[in-house]
Amino acid sequence: MDNAGLVRILKEVPACHLRIIDLAREAVKADGSIDPELISFRQIELKEAVAEAEAYAEATGEAVKCIKTLGRS
């Protein structure tokens, strides 16, 4: 696959909604510091969001490997 093909694929790939981004926005006070009370209320949601983000990070490694393999072929 040439660079143009790879760029086309990257453009077409849909966005992924990571819940941790929403939570990071919601779990801060007006001054930007973390709101510990809100965090304590949303522990389960937070754990799930962290697990999702970790899985995404692992998949990033896989995607990089995939692109490197393509680059070598």
Partner 1 sequence: MHQDPGPLLILAGKLLAAGPPSLSVLIARLQDSEAYGDFISLIREFLPEWEREILHEPVPARQMAVFASHFEDRYFPLDSNIMDGWETEYSDLTRQIPVIPRGFSYDDFSELSSSGRAGIELMTYLLENPYRDDDDRVALSEACKEHVPVEILQRVPQGGFPLQGLHRLLHKTKYEALALWGDEITMDTGNFFLDLDSETLYTGYAENINWSREDVKNLTTEWQQADRIDEGIYNLCEWLEQDPPVRFEELLDFLLERTTNGEEKSGKTAIVCGNGPG
- Cα distances from 36 to residues 39, 58, 68, in angstroms, run 5, 28, 42
- Rule CB under 8 A: say whether 26 interacts with partner 1: no
Both tokens assigned to 27: 């779990």
Q: Which part of the chain contacts partner 1 (CB under 8 A), choosing from 27-35, 38-46, 53-61? A: 53-61
Q: Which part of the chain contacts partner 1 (CB under 8 A), choosing from 35-43, 44-52, 60-68? A: 60-68
- Rule CB under 8 A: say whether 51 interacts with partner 1: no
d(CA 56, CA 41): 25
- Rule CB under 8 A: say whether 18 interacts with partner 1: yes
